[in-house]
Chain A
Amino acid sequence: MSEAGQNSTEKAVVFESVCLRFDEQVVLDDLSFELEHGATKVLLGVAGSGKTTILKLALGLLCPDKGRIFVLGNEVTAMRETELFELRRRIGIVFQESALFDSQSVEDNVAFRLLEEKVPAEEIQRRVTEALRFVELEHTLKLFPAELSGGMRRRVAIARAIISNPEVLLYDSPTAGLDPVTSTTIIELLVKQRDVYKTSALLVTHRLQDAFTMATHYFNPEKNKMLPVPRGWDWDSKTTFLVLNEGKKVFEGDATEIANSDNQYIQEYLTL
């Protein structure tokens, strides 16, 4: 058994030499990486570099042509669709376009997983309110997704993803197309989830700014807000970066390493 296979139970997510192509186009080429429990890995890259595909592969929504994927100790690539439903209940995902159920109210969207698990009504009510309070949208309970702004929809999607306290969270460009203020609100939620609940996460983004904010900020529960890590603090944000180009990994490391990288592609990417 390979090293990744042996370590798979100790890691939240493991990709082992994953290859995927759609027709003639190579989407992922021999990609390997590991995500520790409680850590966040930011997947960076230009549009079409295979970032979203990684999240779909981790959930088993897509199947790779080659390679193995482990999530929470389970080999996703060897599981049948019916077995995957159990595992997926332990993972939360926020889709790029939110993918809320548009014929259901915000309340039903957020409660979806709890309703499926036949949780008692009072508990559903309490947990939905709690999740919506986390994203500061308690007042939208009875509204429908079409009545919300783009940023609000993303926050409802975050509430839907975190309601069952997942062990791994997958964020697909949660700030894409949003104004800077809303983007910061969403990144603050991600930092809060990371620092308060210690959830492992894969964050896909093409906004470098968001990635650096994640790495250089922490959540202060007393002040209930995200603050920059002061100089001299011995603080590990547990946030690392993985840069993709045309399906290949070109960089993996922390914020300091990416800033000091002499890789030409990384330098070009950082100055874009």
Chain B
Amino acid sequence: MAFSITEYAKNNVLAVQEYSILSWRGLANLFSQPRYLGDIVQQMDTIGVGSLPIVVLTGFFTGAVLALQSANSLARFGELSLTGQLVSMSMVRELGPVLTGLMVAGRNASGMASELGSMKVTEQIDAMRALGTDPSRKLVTPRLTATMFMLFFLTILSDLLGLAGGSVIALLLLRLDLNQYWTSAWQTLRYADVFMGLVKPVLFGYIIATIGCYYGLSAKGGTQGVGRATTQAVVASSVLILAVDLFVTRLLMVLMGPL
């Protein structure tokens, strides 16, 4: 069939429409019965507890390398003591949420897309609808709730581990005083920094779950289709996290004044 620009545009508009409906229903389902609390807890375990190792490792090493790199620059101005401050600001405001989001996207957006995609191509989604159960309620809402909730706490953990990673470098390689490192890291943080750092994971969790579920539920074409859906889910959610991060950062800066 010849390529038609109209068809291409129509398909894209349709995809955006379907994504919007799915992500809206995923949230709206929370406010009406039935709610699947058991599924929510199960997803929290899979997404939250299951992601702990990668989040801990990512946070720690990011904080460590950040301390190493920033110390290099700060030493040129004779301000090595500001290392704690720099690690703290960067981790809490930016790197903690974004890197945790990207890690969880890689692990869970792919997991959701492949699981739901396999269910779609083997008619299990149709079977669920035929049995009188709304897949958006049973499958999407628990994943959405669990990801938003758990990413929030995973980010806090990642921030803390990042600071810990930085402190190890500060102590062992930079020979800085630990007390000074932690005090400057703590005192530099203001309410607005923490707020910005904790709004982002909630938004990123929403992106990860809705994109993962959308690509899974729209998978077609057998196992190859499931593979394609998985890859697309990771790529789309990662890019969207980075793009949304930019806009949210700017928006919060405007709303809360210069930070």
Contact = CB atoms under 8 A, between A and B. Distances in A.
A97 interface: yes
A11 B130 CA distance: 20
Interface in A113-138: 113, 116
Contacts of A76: none
Interface in A75-125: 81-82, 85-86, 88-89, 91, 93, 95, 97, 99-102, 112-113, 116
A12 B116 CA distance: 33
A59 interface: yes
Contacts of A86: 132
A61 interface: yes
Contacts of B34: 116
Given A61-B129, A88-B129, A102 B134 contact: no
B27 to A, nearest CB: 16
A95 B122 CA distance: 10
B131 A112 contact: yes
B134 A97 contact: no
B127 interface: yes
B45 interface: no
A99 B34 CA distance: 24
For chain A, the bracket of interface size reads 20 to 34
A113 B134 contact: no
A37 interface: no
B129 A97 contact: no
Contact of B130 (A59, A81, A102): A59
B18 interface: no
B123 A99 contact: yes
Contacts of B133: 85, 112, 116
B129 to A, nearest CB: 6
A204 B18 CA distance: 31
Contact of B132 (A89, A102, A160): A89
A102 B131 contact: no
A61 B131 contact: no
B122 A88 contact: no
B221 to A, nearest CB: 15
Interface in B126-159: 126-134
A206 interface: no
A66 interface: no
B126 A95 contact: yes
A56 interface: yes
A155 to B, nearest CB: 16
A87 to B, nearest CB: 8
B223 interface: no
B124 to A, nearest CB: 5
A99 B129 contact: no
B132 A101 contact: no
B67 to A, nearest CB: 43
A100 B122 CA distance: 9
B134 A85 contact: yes
Given A97-B122, A99-B122, A102-B122, A85 B132 contact: yes
Interface of B: 34, 119, 122-124, 126-134
Interface of A: 56, 59, 61, 81-82, 85-86, 88-89, 91, 93, 95, 97, 99-102, 112-113, 116, 160
24 contacts: A59-B130, A61-B129, A61-B130, A81-B134, A85-B132, A85-B133, A86-B132, A88-B131, A91-B130, A93-B127, A93-B130, A95-B126, A95-B127, A97-B122, A99-B122, A99-B123, A99-B124, A101-B127, A102-B124, A112-B131, A116-B34, A116-B132, A116-B133, A160-B131
**Which 5 residue pairs are nearest across A and B when measured between Cβ atoms?**
A89-B132, A99-B127, A99-B123, A88-B132, A93-B130
Given A99-B124, A116-B34, 13 more contacts: A61-B130, A81-B134, A85-B129, A85-B132, A88-B129, A88-B130, A89-B131, A97-B122, A97-B123, A99-B126, A99-B127, A101-B119, A112-B133
